[in-house]
Amino acid sequence: MAGRHRAALIAGSLLSAGAVLPPVAALADRRLSLHMLLEMLLLALVVPLFAYGAGALRRVPLAARVHPVIGIVALNVVLFGSQLPTVMDLASKNLLVQQATLVAFIGGAFLFWWPIVRPGGLSPIAKIGYLMVAGVPPTIPGITLALSHHLFYQAYRSIEDQQLAGLMLFGTAKFALVFGTFVILWRMLTPQPEPPEHDDREGQPADLPPGAPAWLERLDGELPAEAGRPRLPVPTLLQRPSS
The neighbour count for residue 105, using CB atoms within 10 Å, is 22
Q: What is the per-residue pLDDT across 183-233, written as a single tens digit (0 to 9) for each? A: 888 888 876 554 444 444 444 444 545 555 555 555 555 655 555 555 666
Give the burial class of 34: count Cβ atoms within 10 A of its Cβ; 0-12 exposed, 13-18 middle, 19 or more buried.
Answer: middle
Q: What is the pLDDT of residue 193?
A: 55
State the DSSP H helix or E strand holding residue 4, giving kind and residue range, or none if neither: helix 3-20
DSSP class of residue 155 equals S
Q: What is the per-residue pLDDT across 55-99, written as a single tens digit (0 to 9) for each? A: 877 665 544 567 899 999 999 999 999 999 999 999 988 989 999
Listed residue (159, 170, 35, 161) closest to 98, CA to CA: 35
Q: What is the per-residue pLDDT across 97-148, written as a single tens digit (0 to 9) for each? A: 999 999 999 999 999 999 888 877 788 899 989 998 888 888 889 999 999 9
Q: What is the pLDDT of residue 176?
A: 81
The count of C-alpha atoms lying within 13 angstroms of the C-alpha of 89, restricted to the half-sphere facing its C-beta, is 9
pLDDT band at 164 (very low <50, low <70, confident <90, very high): very high
In order, the DSSP letters of 73-101 are HHHHHHHHHHT-HHHHHHHHH-HHHHHHH
Give φ, ψ of 153 to 5 degrees. -120, 140
Q: What is the pLDDT of residue 104?
A: 95
Helix, strand, coil percent content, the chain, rounded in steps of 5: 65, 0, 35
Q: What is the pLDDT of residue 15?
A: 94
